[in-house]
Amino acid sequence: MNETLPLIWSVLAGVLLGSIFFGGLWWTVRRGAVSPRPAWWFLGSALLRMSIALAGFYLVADNRWQRLAACLIGFILARLVVTRLTRSPANTTGLTAVNKRASSHFHPPAHSENK
pLDDT in tens, 99-113: 555 555 555 566 656
Say if 87 falls within a structural domain.
Answer: yes
CA atoms 29, 94, 97, 111: torsion sign: positive
Say if 66 falls within a structural domain.
Answer: yes
At 15 the pLDDT is: 97
Say if 110 falls within a structural domain.
Answer: no
**How far is 77 from 15, CA to CA, in rounded Å?**
7
- Count, residues in the chain: 115
Stated pTM of the model: 0.73
Number of independent structural domains in the chain: 1
Mean pLDDT throughout 42-62?
96
What would the pLDDT profile of 6-28 be if each residue is shown by its tens digit?
999 999 999 999 999 999 999 99
Say if 51 falls within a structural domain.
Answer: yes
Q: Domain of 29?
A: 4-105
